[in-house]
Amino acid sequence: MRLNAYLARAGVASRRQADELISAGRVRVNGERGQLNTVVASRDVVEVDGRRVAPQRLAYVLLHKPAGVVTTARDPHGRPTVVELVGRPERVVPVGRLDADTTGAILLTNDGRLAHRLAHPRYGVPKVYEAEVEGSPRKEAVAALREGVELDDAVTAPADIRVLRRRAGSTLLELTLHEGRKHQVKRMCAAVGHPVRQLHRSRYAGLELGDLAPGNWRELTPGEVAVLRRVTGLE
């Protein structure tokens, strides 16, 4: 395991922050100054500022993110974060992001390899959203969402779209995406003339919230973790 990944697993810092600690000479491996390319084995002794550290056990948490909570480990503006909602002794971080006003399913883990693959578009991890949009999209607009919408950074990939409910002035759509661009659902719906009023992610990588209330979380079962590792090619 590379030294920065080891420090992240130990809950010391993110990989980027770990690189800074290593470059500053604050990390030693078996008494020697660690380098950015240092590889750590199970018997090696790793110290940060003279304190020995060791990897934490792998943890996998599904959180029902409420509105107003940001998807980061820390927020300079003092807003509540998803990490603060999860009472785990291990340092877990969110996989991907949800906007502050978006609710729903988000995975937090300290399994860096799995998190990287879940976020990589190569693996096409499904993300299911329920979007309440303004107006009543006609079949042409629904077809455009399904086939691909021209955005400023390229055409979106094909998506599965269902109309769940129509009401006076708004429509509830279900969108299943296999890519994860910034503000993608909001940008797609705005591009076809139906801005999003409310957005909720109901499923992520096949994981459902079930009866989890907003702000609550649960650990994944070993079976759920095995499925995630299998679909991302880690097993």
Amino acid at 100: A
Q: What is the mean pLDDT of residues 30-36?
A: 96
pTM, full prediction: 0.85
For residue 107, the surrounding DSSP H or E stretch is strand 103-109
- Cα–Cα distance, 192 to 89 (Å, whole number): 45
Confidence check: pLDDT of 59 > 80: yes
The answer on pLDDT for 137 being more than 90 is yes
- If pLDDT is split at 50, 70 and 90, which confidence band does 8 have? confident
Q: Which of 131, 126, 61, 72 is nearest to 103 (CA)?
A: 131
Q: What is the pLDDT of residues 180-217, one digit of tens each?
A: 888 999 999 999 999 999 999 999 999 999 999 999 99
Q: Which DSSP state fits 178?
A: S
- 49: annotated active-site residue: no
Cα 28 to chain centroid, rounded? 31
Which residues of the chain does CATH 3.10.290.10 include?
3-53
Q: Region 36-43: what's the mean pLDDT? A: 94
Strand ranges in 135-169 using DSSP code E only, listed in sequence order = 150-151, 154-155, 160-167
Instruction: Tell me which of 1.10.10.10, 3.10.290.10, 3.90.100.10, 3.40.50.970 is the CATH number of domain 3-53.
Output: 3.10.290.10
Catalytic pick among 75, 99, 160, 211 = 99
- What is the C-alpha separation between 47 and 33, in angstroms, rounded? 10
Q: What is the pLDDT of residue 235?
A: 74
The residue with tokens 């079962």 is 221
CATH of the domain spanning 126-204: 3.30.70.1560
Q: Does domain 60-121+206-231 have CATH number 3.90.25.10?
A: no
Q: Would you place residue 16 in the very low, low, confident or very high pLDDT band (cuts 50, 70, 90)? A: confident
30-56 mean pLDDT: 94
Tell me the C-alpha distance between 153 and 5, whole Å: 31
* DSSP label of 73: S
Q: Using an 8 Å Cβ cutoff, are 199 and 129 in contact? A: yes
Q: At what angle do helices 112-119 and 222-231 cross, to 10 degrees?
A: 50
